[in-house]
């Protein structure tokens, strides 16, 4: 945890402006100083870290573990993605972590923080967008909140790199545009990879079918208690005009294709949050057969209705359906 008294609020205003109002991708880095990065790291990056916590915790409940020792954090910024992954799997025998960002300032900052947090880790700095040591490594590629900053040629490079990964963990903001960009990417990579999450299947994304144009694939992370109890977070939320309770994200977890079928094919994934009405809820449900809205009447299953309303039911369900309505659900057993 950094020191909030040193936060450069003007830098955060400028960064927020850049993130929100950027009209087109820029090939020029926007980090101007160490203070930009330190202030970002304590605030925006920490919120991104909460999204990583949500995804990694979900993967753990599915029994997922890293299957490679080599990690690449691409567009690393302050390396929040790799720090979260390494600390979630501290006993994994990581061999090395490579950092790439088109900002040298960012790479230097990331390297310093990682050295302090993981003194025994071998950290390598890539001198180009396609690290020399990446090919044949079959490594774990981490990408976080980068896609909407890429020019078409950088995006192509990143996809070329992604095709050589063993595993890809990719998190983006939960906006319509970011989710739709991630869906395009999913379709480009699905021939070579098994999709472990959020999809429960490898069929074409159901949001691409006619009638689903208005939807996007997003989920909600739970901020930690400190986000609501610490005055510095309140100040951050107010000044940046961010509702801290609301933490939407889009994500993809891909594993190089093997012969085993997706372990979740019988399950559906809830997209977004169920929409609650008086006495019933509408749930946007994604499964191999497509994405469709299904209704749950409170009277059909008051317990499930309540769990969903309180956000305690999880997002994976094997629905029990009667008369086109949900009447029950089974969740996958924790592994
Ligand atoms: C919003 S920040 C996210 C940083 C970090 N991944 C995180 O989740 O906090 C986007 C990062 O992508 C980097 N970036 C943008 N375009 C890039 C490119 N073409 N090649 C490498 N890095 C790029 C920026 O310098 C910045 O550090």
- Domains of the chain with bracketed CATH: 4-256 (3.40.50.150), 268-330 (no CATH)
- The pLDDT of residue 260 is 67
Residue nearest to atom 27 of ligand 1 (CA): 77
Residue nearest to atom 18 of ligand 1 (CA): 102
Taking Cα atoms as reference points, which of 186, 162, 184, 182 lies closest to residue 172?
182
Question: Could you tell me the distance, in angstroms and rounded to a whole number, from the CA of residue 148 to the centre of ligand 1?
Answer: 9
Judge if the beta carbon of residue 172 lies within 6 A of ligand 1: no
Question: Could you tell me the distance, in angstroms and rounded to a whole number, from the CA of residue 73 to the centre of ligand 1?
Answer: 10
User: Cα separation of 120 and 319, whole Å?
Assistant: 46
Residue 160: C-alpha distances to residues 174, 185, 322 (Å): 24, 11, 45
Probe ligand 1: pick from 75, 114, 147, max atoms within 8 Å of CB? 75
pLDDT along the chain (335 residues), means of 10: 86 93 82 96 98 97 94 98 97 95 97 96 95 88 96 95 96 97 97 95 96 97 96 96 96 88 87 95 97 97 95 95 96 82
pTM above 0.95, yes or no: yes
């Amino acid at each position: 945890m950094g020191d909030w008294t040193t936060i450069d609020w003007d830098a955060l205003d400028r960064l927020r402006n850049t993130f929100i109002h950027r009209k087109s991708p820029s090939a020029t880095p926007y980090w101007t100083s160490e203070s930009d990065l330190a202030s970002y790291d304590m605030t925006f990056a920490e919120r991104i870290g909460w999204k990583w916590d949500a995804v990694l915790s979900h993967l753990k409940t599915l029994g997922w573990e890293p299957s490679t020792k080599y990690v690449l954090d691409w567009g690393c910024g302050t390396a929040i993605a790799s720090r979260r992954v390494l600390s979630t799997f501290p006993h994994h025998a990581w061999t090395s972590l490579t950092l790439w960002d088109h900002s040298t300032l960012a790479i230097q900052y990331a390297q310093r923080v990682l050295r302090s947090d993981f003194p025994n880790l071998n950290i390598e700095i890539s001198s180009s967008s396609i690290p020399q040591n990446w090919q044949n490594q079959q490594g774990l590629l981490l990408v976080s909140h980068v896609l909407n900053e890429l020019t078409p040629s950088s995006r192509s490079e990143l996809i070329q790199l992604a095709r050589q990964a063993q595993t890809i963990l990719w998190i983006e903001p939960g906006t319509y545009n970011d989710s739709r960009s991630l869906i395009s990417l999913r379709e480009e990579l699905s021939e070579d990879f098994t999709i472990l999450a959020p999809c429960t299947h490898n069929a074409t994304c159901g949001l691409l079918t006619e009638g689903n144009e208005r939807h996007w694939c997003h989920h909600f992370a739970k901020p930690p208690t400190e986000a609501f109890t610490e005055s510095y977070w309140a100040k951050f939320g107010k000044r940046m005009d961010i509702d801290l309770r609301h933490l939407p994200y889009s994500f993809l977890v891909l594993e190089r294709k093997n012969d085993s079928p997706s372990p979740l094919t019988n399950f559906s994934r809830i997209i977004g949050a169920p929409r609650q009405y008086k006495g019933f809820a509408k749930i946007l449900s994604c499964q191999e057969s497509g994405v469709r809205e299904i209704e749950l009447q409170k009277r059909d299953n008051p317990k499930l209705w309540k769990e969903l309303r309180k956000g305690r039911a999880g997002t994976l369900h094997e629905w029990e359906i009667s008369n086109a309505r949900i009447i029950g659900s089974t969740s996958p057993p924790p592994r």
